[in-house]
Amino acid sequence: MSYHLKTLTQLRAGLASRAFSARELTVSFLNRMAAHDGGLNSFITQTPEQALLAADLADKRLAAGETGPLLGIPYAHKDIFCTAGVRTTCASKMLGNWVAPYDASVHQKLAAAGAVMLGKTNMDEFAMGSSNENSAFGAVKNPWDHTAVPGGSSGGSAAAVAARLVPIATGSDTGGSIRQPAAYCGITGIKPTYGRVSRFGMIAYASSLDQGGVLGVSAADCAVMLQAMAGHDARDSTSAPVPVPDYVAQLNQPMAGLRIGVPRQWFTQGLSVSVAARIDDALLELEALGATRVAIDLPDAPLALAAYYLIAPAEASSNLSRFDGVRFGHRCADPQDLNDLYERSRSEGFGAEVQRRILIGTYALSAGYYDAFYVRAQRARRQIAAHFASAFAHCDVIAGPVAPNVAFDLGAHSKDPATMYLEDIYTIPVNLAGLPGMSIPVGFAGGRPVGMQLIGPAFTESRLLSVAHHYQQHTDWHQQIPNAYREDVV
């Protein structure tokens, strides 16, 4: 039946017409997962039994005449979302087999919509990383090239969707963790406006930057998924009490007259020539669809990188203090005293990158450094937001690269975290300003996918999705599937 080649809309139609059941659909994707994930390592936890139960429940609801865009649709969760009854690891030895006694708000919503979770995907530990190599459960491979990283931190979700092990997956994005792996894996990803999707039950990395979102094949699929996830949540004080528009209905907003801002500074230093060329091709395509290109100034990318690597670790150092070996998670053997319990539990439980960021953050918040680091970083953050606001006076959407390069080789940056941090230079400013951003596939360079980033003012997800949708109506980059994953699994 090649379910893995269908859009969510097609799957919904098939389920509604009873052409196939949710169980058949689920079994088909479980088979793909069983056949392929051994090589990819995109899942930390697979939940076939729960998936079949959920599928049967969906079939009952479908049989009762119920219909819904996600009813019976398989998906995967990044393993940062808490799920009662299924362990949540954040790819850390620290959490190990910890099982949350509650569901993340996002999970509650998806479960209520009847979506069928197939498992929880690999990621960089506590969402800290850009390659998915910082996982206690091992690195994830890029389906397009097993010697390449899938990007991170939502690398497992990106790889699973790229290999069509699931039609769609959740992710989280603190500095680019949805957009960059989506770009590296040749799929579509959206990081909504900060506050659009509840953070309740999404394990915190950097609270003022974290935002849940979607990785899927197309903008249209992402619109369906985001619709179910978005909205105000009384359990998250920072979630926005802003009405959620009908993203699917608004996919066909007119392109004519749309002003696309292209930041001059993003196309000068450090950007791969071939990535720049693919983005230029995409911009030409959008112009052909009626949009106009406007040069804008966003001079702050290097500043944003510096600010991010102070603010995010500062918040992380505090957020991760609760992992102390006292109440849950990893606890060292035979602690001699309280300090020994803390030191060894945390040294054993956290990986190197997490420890590095906790130390950076602790330092940045320390007396005598706080003003020089944290306070200045917050000032820089306000300046970055102000520059975006000025830019949006001249354009409706900003387009540019997601990352300076295509996916790099596994192990290429593992000795040098600073070069790894540069991967996020175009995505981080968006998180600092709290804006929505997307990544859409726009071609290949050296056999690896290239992504283009679209950025909008706060709460303009529907416009971003619409621009991406128009582009995808006229191109087929998003429909490309790595050779090894194209065929049906029987």
Partner 1 sequence: MSSHAGWEAVIGLEIHTQLATQSKIFSGAATAFGAEPNSQACAVDLGLPGVLPVLNAEAVRMAALFGLAVGAHVALESTFDRKNYFYPDLPKGYQISQLAQPIVSGGAVVIAVGEGDKAVQKTIHLTRAHLEEDAGKSLHEDFAGATGIDLNRAGTPLIEIVSEPEMSSAAEAVAYARKIHAMVQYLGICDGNMQEGSFRVDANVSVRRRGDTQLGTRTEVKNVNSFRFLERAIDYEINRQIELIEDGGRVQQQTRLYDPNKDETRMMRTKEAADDYRYFPDPDLLPVIIKPETLEAWRASLPELPDAKAARYQAHYGLSAYDSSVLTSAKQTAAYFEQTLAAMGKAGDAKLVANWVTGTLAAQLNKEGLEISLSPVPADLLAQLLLRVVDNTLSNKLAKEVFDAVWAGEGTPDGIIEARGLKQITDTGAIEAMVGAILAEHPDKVAEYRAGKDKLFGFFVGLVMKAAKGKANPQQLNDVLKSSLGSCGEEGGV
Minimum CB distance to partner 1 smaller for 248 or for 312: 312
User: Least distance to partner 1 from the beta carbon of 94, Å?
Assistant: 9
Of 173, 161, 135, the closest CA to residue 37 belongs to 161
Edge-to-edge strands of the sheet including 292-296? 43-46, 116-121, 74-78, 168-172, 212-216, 188-191, 437-445, 448-455, 397-401, 259-263, 292-296
Catalytic entry in 42, 153, 154, 462: 153
Our CB check for partner 1 shows the closer of 95 and 185 to be 95
Q: Which residue has the tokens 């991170």?
A: 152
CB of 326 to partner 1, least distance (A): 5
Least separation in angstroms between residue 359's CB and partner 1 is 12
Please report how close the Cβ of residue 104 comes to partner 1 at its closest, in angstroms: 6
Q: Is 153 a catalytic residue?
A: yes
- Of 267 and 342, nearer to partner 1 (C-beta) is 342
Contacts with partner 1 by CB under 8 A lie at 81-82, 88, 90, 95, 98, 100-102, 104, 199-204, 206-208, 234-238, 314-315, 317-318, 320-324, 326-328, 338, 342, 362, 365-367, 370, 374
Beta strands 116-121 and 74-78, pairing class: parallel
Minimum distance from residue 483 beta carbon to partner 1 (Å): 38
Give the tokens for residue 260: 């696309």
Task: Please tell me which residue in 21, 28, 172, 177 is annotated as part of the active site.
Answer: 177
Considering beta carbons, is residue 123 or 406 the nearer one to partner 1? Answer: 123
Shortest Cβ distance from residue 183 to partner 1 (Å)?
A: 27
Q: How far is the CB of 15 from partner 1 (least distance, A)?
A: 31
78 is catalytic: yes
Peptide bond before residue 153 is cis, with ω within 30 degrees of 0: yes
Residue number with CB closer to partner 1 (88 or 427): 88
Contacts of 316 (CB under 8 A, 6+ apart): 126, 128, 205, 206, 354, 357, 358, 361
Which tokens in the block code for residue 412? Answer: 């290429």
Looking at 21, 42, 78, 130, which residue is catalytic?
78
Which is closer to partner 1, CB of 82 or CB of 169? 82
Residue pair 252/221 in contact by the 8 Å Cβ criterion: no
Residue 414: active-site member: no
Nearer to partner 1, 5 or 84 (CB): 84
Strands 292-296 and 259-263: parallel
**Catalytic residue list:** 78, 153, 177
